[in-house]
Amino acid sequence: MLKSTILLAAAALALAASPAQAKDERAQARFTCPDGLQVDVQIFQRPDLESGNIYTGFDATFSNIPASYTAGHAWHVHQTPVPAALKDGQNDCDATGGHLDPAGVKKSGSSYKCDPKNPLSTCEAGDWAGLVGNIVATSDGQLRIYYTSPDPAFLPTPYNLTQHSVVIHNASGTRICCGNITKLPTKCAPKPK
Ligand SMILES: *[C@@H]1O[C@H](CO)[C@@H](O)[C@H](O)[C@H]1NC(C)=O
Ligand SMILES: *[C@@H]1O[C@H](CO)[C@@H](O)[C@H](O)[C@H]1NC(C)=O
Ligand SMILES: *[C@@H]1O[C@H](CO)[C@@H](O)[C@H](O)[C@H]1NC(C)=O
């Protein structure tokens, strides 16, 4: 009796772990803005072995934040990559489309407000400022923001996000810099014990 329970538990763990291993994906966006802001966004997908759910999230580090970032600078995932061709010597951020919103959460003509507690129905998948807040000046010029989606269905996977870009806006909404999201090598998930 005891033995069969253990076997069953082991089988359940293997079931939960094997698709999860295949889903371990990482991507990143790293770039420096003309005003000196350094952006390092690490995007990950991680299995939760207990529930079997796959969670996607990001670990964003902003460094050398200018003191002028008082009102807060919004940042988002935009629909298309940054074109290879520069515009006026800079990345052409105006050519990255709108915010990533595959679920069509934002409806034209109606008001939009991302409620981080209810992201699936109120937030564009790319509205990361709406989810975690804007980039604001800090005493040491550093800001680190870690986010894991409470709903596995909310954020696209890291590899899907590599078809898109990260854009920083200034307080007037002007796109001041941007960078592609690129794929990182898959890190092997630990083998189930
Ligand atoms: C961004 O990615 C696209 C598509 O992969 C590529 O064509 C483009 O050159 C990249 N842009 C920059 C600025 O690296
Ligand atoms: C992610 O990419 C896969 C194939 O690479 C595709 O089948 C799937 O529809 C994409 N999902 C989203 C949310 O874009
Ligand atoms: C945002 O950038 C634009 C273009 O450089 C500039 O004209 C505008 O004054 C900036 N807004 C703020 C609040 O800094």
* CATH number (domain holding residue 95): 2.60.40.200
Residue 190 falls within a domain, yes or no? Answer: no
State both tokens at 20.
């999860």
- The answer to whether residue 193 sits within a structural domain is no
191 belongs to a structural domain: no
By CB atoms closer than 10 A (0-12, 13-18, 19+), residue 166 is buried
Answer yes or no: is the C-beta of 91 below 6 A from any ligand 1 atom: yes
Task: State the Cα–Cα distance between residues 43 and 146, nearest whole angstrom.
Answer: 10
Q: According to the model, what pLDDT value does residue 138 have?
A: 97
The response to whether residue 81 sits with its C-beta less than 6 Å from ligand 1 reads yes
- Whether pLDDT at 144 is above 50: yes
Which pTM does this prediction carry? 0.85
What separation in Å is there between the alpha carbon of 188 and the centre of ligand 1?
27
DSSP 19-57: HHHHT--EEEEEEE-TTS-EEEEEEEEEE-TTT--EEEE
- The rounded mean pLDDT for the chain is 87
Residue bearing the CA closest to ligand 3, atom 4: 174
Does residue 85 line the site of ligand 1, with CB under 6 A? no
Contact 67, 91 (CB under 8 A): no
Ligand 2 atom nearest 102 alpha carbon: 13
Quick check: is 53 in a domain?
Answer: yes
Distance 169 CA to ligand 3 centre (A): 9
Provide the number of structural domains found in the chain: 1
- Residue 14 reports pLDDT greater than 60: no
174 lines ligand 3 (CB under 6 A): yes
Q: What is the pLDDT of residues 16-35, one digit of tens each?
A: 444 445 578 999 999 999 99
Residue of 77, 82, 87 to test ligand 1 pocket, by largest number of atoms within 8 Å of CB: 82
Whether the pLDDT of residue 156 is over 60: the answer is: yes
Is residue 122 situated within a structural domain? yes
pLDDT digits (tens, 9 = 90+) for 70-100: 988 999 999 999 999 999 999 999 999 999 9
Note down the domain range covering 180.
Answer: 2-184
What is the average pLDDT across 171-189?
88
